[in-house]
Amino acid sequence: MTSGTTGTVVLSDSDMSRALTRIAHEILERNKGSASLVLLGIPTRGAPLARRIAERVATAEGADRPEQVAETLLGTLDVTMYRDDLGSQPTRTLQRTEMPPGGLDDKVVVLVDDVLYSGRTVRAALDAVSDLGRPSAVQLAVLVDRGHRELPIRADYVGKNLPTSRAERVSVRLREVDGEDAVTITGTPGEAR
């Protein structure tokens, strides 16, 4: 781990790349291939992570054009209107929800997000998915699981488990959104919020 002005780097760009490759292979192994998969990225940073995982899945499956195959697996799921904290959070910009061509019915849906914390975003995503179709299963992939769950939700695929205090802040930076890949942590361990 290195320390900088923006916090302590806990995942570098190469660490993130390896974690996403591992997650893609774990998804393929658990689901016996990609035939029934749909990856839904939760904006903002879950969407580019889902794209990267979908491309790795397509590459692992031997696709000649992984970016084209990834499009058949990939969607985005805006959960803003399903959140239970709309009144207590700053106004959120609505993002697009896009489904892959085959929809969600009878598919294994893998929700993809950057950080798993309280579990409330995932709960909102589960509600949104139930309005869009009836998948055969729903799984969860996250780049970072930082603990402090408020709901009984657990990720199926985790890039890095990162025990934190509630006073610490985990920031995921992605080149598609922020111009660089890094996961940093700021704050003081054990400090009350």
| Digit-coded pLDDT (tens) for 62-73 | 888 878 888 899
Report residue 193's pLDDT band, with 50, 70 and 90 as the boundaries: very low
Angle at 46 between CA 45 and CA 50, to 5 degrees: 125
Q: What is the pLDDT of residue 170?
A: 96
Highest mean pLDDT among 28-37, 67-76, 84-93: 28-37
Residue 184 makes CB contacts below 8 A (sequence gap 6+) with 4, 6, 7, 8, 9, 10, 170, 171, 173
Provide the token pair at 167: 């006073």
pTM for the full model? 0.91
Higher pLDDT, 67 or 58: 58
Mean pLDDT of 125-137: 97
Collapsing DSSP to helix, strand or coil, 72 comes out as helix
For the chain, the domains span: 13-86+94-186
Tell me the pLDDT of the chain averaged across its residues: 91
Return d(Cα 27, Cα 30) in angstroms, integer.
5
Considering Cα of 40, then 45, then 49, then 51, what sign does the dihedral take?
positive
Q: What is the CATH number of domain 13-86+94-186?
A: 3.40.50.2020
Nearest to 141 by CA among 84, 77, 94: 77
